[in-house]
Amino acid sequence: MSGPGPGPGPGPGPGARAGARRLGTVHAEWTKLRTLTSTWWLLSAVVGLTVAAGVAVSGSLTAGACPVPAECHEDTVRIGLTGIWLGQGAVIVLAVLAVSGEYGTGTIRAALAAEPRRLRLLAAKALVVGALTAAAGAAAVAGALLAGRRVLAADGFPLPALTEGPVLRAAAGTVLYLVLTALLALGAGAALRDTATAVTAVLAVCYLLPLLAGLVSEPEWQERLLRLAPSTAGLAVQATANLDGLPIGPWPGLAVLTAWTAAALAAGAAVLCTRDV
Amino acid sequence: MDGNEAQIEVRGLRKRFGAVTALDGMSFTVEPGQVTGFVGPNGAGKSTTMRILLGLDRAEEGSALIGGRPYRELRNPLLAVGALLDAAAVHPARRGRDHLLWLAHSHRLPARRVDEVIEQTGLGPAARRRAGGYSLGMRQRLGIAAALLGDPPVLLFDEPVNGLDPEGIRWMRGLLRSLAAQGRAVLVSSHLMSELEGTADHLVVIGRGRVLADTSVRELLAGASGDRVEVRTGEPDRDRAMTVLADAGATVAATGRGTLTVSGLDAQRVVALLGGAGVAFSGVAAHRATLEEAYMELTREAAEFAAGPSGPSGPSGPSGPASGEDRR
């Protein structure tokens, strides 16, 4: 047990530069997330659940229902990516925990002591959570598409080339969808501060609204709900066929989700910047 | 940077939590090179003041400056101030070393610095374990390590010895003394004055959100109506002893069966007087005021007020929402 020596003080050094400090806050957020095993479990769950559910749903399809397999008009890409409905759950938990976990454990005070400019802290969290989600989302989408194709090809389905425009839109759009959902959850975590409350709220918005739409008997209201719910609107981007039958187009759908995300982040920023911690 | 960077300046802080006034014009300064004790009952406003100093809570009025700047304007805050607010505030699933590592990364400090503070605080191999399994003592050491990371000239410790074992308390005292000896400004809060005895050079005593006394420890002890002498004497001699001592100008009180408490005379004079008058006694002991007694005397007024209108709104009540321990 040594007393404190004078210590080779780190001094201002290069760290005093404002630019380096901003990067420092991002670096700190990355270190925080990577040093929790739960982060890696949740990211694995995003990939695992998305791929597994995609394979299961693809496997349940039989081309035998179509008169000629070549005339099947199933949206095979969208079917292969159905697992996002499961994978997004893990994304939501990860993103909410990135903020609410800090309130729950009290580390939010250390975080704000290290970065007193609160918007910067939120931005750093958003950047790191967004990047991790994008990486896991890209792996999940690639895995689900490739595995789904294998299953469907074995069944004799005609498959579009992976380089076709709508397929690329569905793939990139799904990754974007996951990132936007993560940021929505992050904003909710910052606004509500409590893990259970925030996770419940985001799950309700992402899963209950579409379910509710299914229960509404009035078709006009049903469509309205599907257009406004962040998950159903956002996932319109996965469609590669029968676009006219969608309640909302692929990119407008993603724009609806973006609006939800922006609102959640704005609420989170407002709470973070105005309230005591 | 204007002002001494190793200085804390609190001016006229006011803060309310609902109907309760937590801070009511709190003002004091903390100078470098000494340990300043920040003392008051639970709910007096110690933690709130510290949170405002760190920019975590906002005051309705007043200023809290470190090295002449509000915390939120500090470029590299961890290099300017180190703080231990709540030792329990670590993620239980994160290893102690990783907790220090993310703090270090936030200020571009090298990992070498993390290992230095681990060494300095005696965290040792525990740093490789998850913080959830730490004892309170280890958590305190981790919190201290985090505060020392940026080698800051100003240190704030909120109840640092709370829950430490005797060996830990001894270590903490030595650490606080040596940090001050290095020229740093060290502010240490406690609700027990006895914890600061032998550690603090200066005291800021607070109650109900304001400063009751801002004084050096030496002055406080000297000012306490402290020096008394206890005389043990048998029943037949007691009355005579009282008369003799009172005639010599002392204030004498019978404080127990066969015990007199004498103030106004030193022990040597008491012995001489009693001996000269032929009064038998079995013991004379000088009783110096302790810091605790001086503090009790100082805060009696405030304590009496607080004990009067008891109820949830009493600022000193254990459920006072102004108390950092209870708020969250």
Q: How confident is residue A238, by pLDDT bands cut at 50, 70 and 90?
A: very high
Does the distance separating the beta carbons of B109 and A113 come in below 8 Å?
no
Burial of A193 (0-12, 13-18, 19+ CB in 10 A): buried
* Per-residue pLDDT at B313 exceeds 60: no
What pLDDT does residue B258 have?
Answer: 81
- The 10s digit of each residue's pLDDT in A23-75 is 899 999 999 999 999 999 999 999 999 999 999 998 888 766 666 656 667 78
- For residues B98 and B233, state if they share a domain: no
CA distance A21 to chain B (A): 6
Give contacts of B146 with chain A, Cβ < 8 Å: 110
What pLDDT does residue B325 have?
Answer: 40
Does the distance separating the beta carbons of B98 and A113 come in below 8 Å?
no
What pLDDT does residue A18 have?
Answer: 54
- For residues B113 and B254, state if they share a domain: no
- Give DSSP secondary structure letters for A198-241: HHHHHHIIIIIHHHHHHH---HHHHHHHHHHSHHHHHGGGG--S
What pLDDT does residue B252 have?
Answer: 87
- For residues B187 and B242, state if they share a domain: no
Q: How many domains does chain B have?
A: 2
Query: Among A105, A112, A194, A275, which would you mutate to test the B interface (most chain B Cβ atoms within 10 Å of its Cβ)?
Result: A105
Give contacts of B58 with chain A, Cβ < 8 Å: 276
* Per-residue pLDDT at B2 exceeds 60: no
Please check whether residue A147 is in contact with residue A55, taking contact to mean a CB–CB distance below 8 angstroms: yes
Q: How confident is residue A244, by pLDDT bands cut at 50, 70 and 90?
A: confident
Q: Report the range out of A126-130, A211-215, B134-138, B246-250 with the highest average pLDDT.
A: A126-130
Select from B102, B108, B119 the Cβ nearest to the Cβ of A20: B108
CA distance B114 to B156: 19
Give contacts of B54 with chain A, Cβ < 8 Å: 109, 112-113
- For residues B206 and B86, state if they share a domain: yes
- The 10s digit of each residue's pLDDT in B10-24 is 999 999 999 999 999
Residue B20 lies in a domain: yes
Determine the residue type at A274: T
CA distance B296 to chain A (A): 33
Q: How confident is residue B41, by pLDDT bands cut at 50, 70 and 90?
A: confident
Rg (CA), chain B: 24
CA distance A118 to A111: 9
Does the distance separating the beta carbons of A114 and B108 come in below 8 Å?
no
Q: Which domain holds residue B173?
A: 8-222+294-307
Nearest chain B Cα to A32, which residue? B102
What pLDDT does residue A3 have?
Answer: 39
Q: What is the mean pLDDT of residues B316-322?
A: 38
Structure tokens at A175: 């990754």
Determine the residue type at B66: I
- For residues B142 and B264, state if they share a domain: no
Q: What is the mean pLDDT of residues A170-181?
A: 97
Residue B89 lies in a domain: yes
What pLDDT does residue A145 have?
Answer: 94
- For residues B282 and B200, state if they share a domain: no
- For residues B106 and B208, state if they share a domain: yes
Q: Among the residues of chain A, which ranges form H helices?
A: 18-34, 37-60, 76-80, 84-105, 107-114, 118-154, 165-192, 195-203, 209-215, 219-228, 230-234, 250-274
CA distance A24 to A116: 13
- For residues B172 and B140, state if they share a domain: yes
Give contacts of A36 with chain B, Cβ < 8 Å: 91, 93-94
* Per-residue pLDDT at A175 exceeds 60: yes
* Per-residue pLDDT at B242 exceeds 50: yes
The mean pLDDT value of chain A amounts to 89
Say which CATH number the domain at B185 has.
Answer: 3.40.50.300
Residue B144 lies in a domain: yes
Residue A33 CA, distance from chain mean position: 16
- What share of chain A has pLDDT > 70, as a percent? 88
Q: How confident is residue B250, by pLDDT bands cut at 50, 70 and 90?
A: confident
Q: How confident is residue B291, by pLDDT bands cut at 50, 70 and 90?
A: confident
* Per-residue pLDDT at A239 exceeds 50: yes
- The 10s digit of each residue's pLDDT in A106-125 is 999 999 999 999 999 999 99
Select from B55, B102, B328 the Cβ nearest to the Cβ of A31: B102
* Per-residue pLDDT at A16 exceeds 50: no
Give contacts of A27 with chain B, Cβ < 8 Å: 105-106, 108
Q: Are strands B34-39 and B185-190 parallel, antiparallel or unpaired?
A: parallel
- For residues B249 and B142, state if they share a domain: no
CA distance A91 to A277: 26
Does the distance separating the beta carbons of B109 and A114 come in below 8 Å?
no
The mean pLDDT value of chain B amounts to 86
- Chain A to chain B Cβ contacts (< 8 Å): 130
CA distance B326 to A273: 23
Residue A216 CA, distance from chain mean position: 27
- Phi, psi values for residue A57, rounded to 5°: -70, -40
Does the distance separating the beta carbons of A105 and B98 come in below 8 Å?
no
CA distance A262 to A196: 22
- For residues B179 and B273, state if they share a domain: no
CA distance A135 to A32: 17
- What share of chain B has pLDDT > 90, as a percent? 54
Say which CATH number the domain at B235 has.
Answer: 3.30.70
CA distance A273 to chain B (A): 10
* Per-residue pLDDT at A13 exceeds 50: no
Unique residue bearing structure tokens 């959902």: A181
A99-103, A248-252, B185-189, B303-307 — which is least confidently predicted? Answer: B303-307
CA distance A107 to A109: 5
Chain A residues with CB under 8 Å of a chain B CB are: 1-10, 12-16, 18, 20-21, 23-25, 27-32, 35-38, 101, 105-107, 109-110, 112-117, 276-277
Q: What is the mean pLDDT of residues A200-214?
A: 94
Name the residue with higher pLDDT: B327 or B298: B298
* Per-residue pLDDT at B156 exceeds 90: yes
Select from B57, B105, B179 the Cβ nearest to the Cβ of A4: B179
Nearest chain A Cα to B143, which residue? A110
* Per-residue pLDDT at B327 exceeds 60: no
Q: Are strands B8-17 and B20-30 parallel, antiparallel or unpaired?
A: antiparallel
Determine the residue type at B167: E
CA distance A110 to B319: 25
Q: Report the range out of A233-237, B248-252, B264-268 with the highest average pLDDT.
A: A233-237
Please check whether residue A218 is in contact with residue A86, taking contact to mean a CB–CB distance below 8 angstroms: no
> From the CB of residue B288, how many other CB atoms can be counted at a distance below 10 Å?
10
Name the residue with higher pLDDT: A191 or B43: A191
Please check whether residue B20 is in contact with residue B322, taking contact to mean a CB–CB distance below 8 angstroms: yes
